[in-house]
Amino acid sequence: MIFLRYESFRSYLRSYPVTAAIIVINILVYALDHLVFDGSLLEHGYFYSGGAYNYFSLDEPWRYVTAEFLHADLSHIFFNMFSILVFAPPLERMLGHVRYAIFYLLCGVVGHLFVAIADGQPTIGASGCIYGVFGTYLYLALFKRSLDPESRKTVYMILIFGVIFSLIGTNVSIWGHIGGLFAGVVLAYAYDWYVTLKQNRR
């Protein structure tokens, strides 16, 4: 079961520095926004596509990334950070620190792009990034069969509950979840193809 964490706090920080940094940055931004800046960070960083057909929001492109580190309330940030804490480390170990950081950010960007194309609603949160992580595990479970049975079952259950929550929950960015999941699957396939090609050339 790859999702069970046995490391000490110090070992976790040393082994998964990008995951740890993402969690710290999210918590710090949330605390500053709610305790110091009275919501101004959220106001200037949430994702908004700028209206219909302005999919790429080129007037304020930073929102594609800044929105990934903003959260509405304690429950929002708690569940997202818990998901990253538990499920991201195996992926950081698989990809390496730099590739994982790029992967994480790209999944969030694609999630926001899906939101812009589908409904253009303002959105915040790390859900697109997290669903990108789940998308990678889904690819491994379905096409590579490289996950152990317990980990594979866990991935399926998470996605089932995620779909249910996305459909019945309020203020849920369904298209952000779909976009992140799509990005995770596609990027996992692309990386798998790259690794296979590199091995065949040896």
Confidence of residue 197 (pLDDT cuts 50, 70, 90): confident
pLDDT at 49: 65
pTM: 0.90
- For residue 35 the two structure tokens come to 């305790």
Mean pLDDT over 136-163 rounds to: 90
Helix (H, G, I), strand (E, B) or coil at 123: strand
Q: Which amino acid is at 151?
A: S
Task: Using the predicted structure, report yes or no on whether residue 118 has a pLDDT greater than 70.
Answer: yes
| CATH 1.20.1540.10 for the 9-201 domain, yes or no | yes
Domain ranges of the chain: 9-201
Residue 143 per-residue DSSP state: I
Picking from 75, 86, 120, the residue whose alpha carbon sits closest to that of residue 1 is 86
- For residue 126 the two structure tokens come to 């790390």
What is the share, in percent, of the chain residues with pLDDT greater than 90?
A: 64
Q: Which residues contact 101 (CB under 8 A, 6 or more apart)?
A: 18
Confidence of residue 16 (pLDDT cuts 50, 70, 90): very high
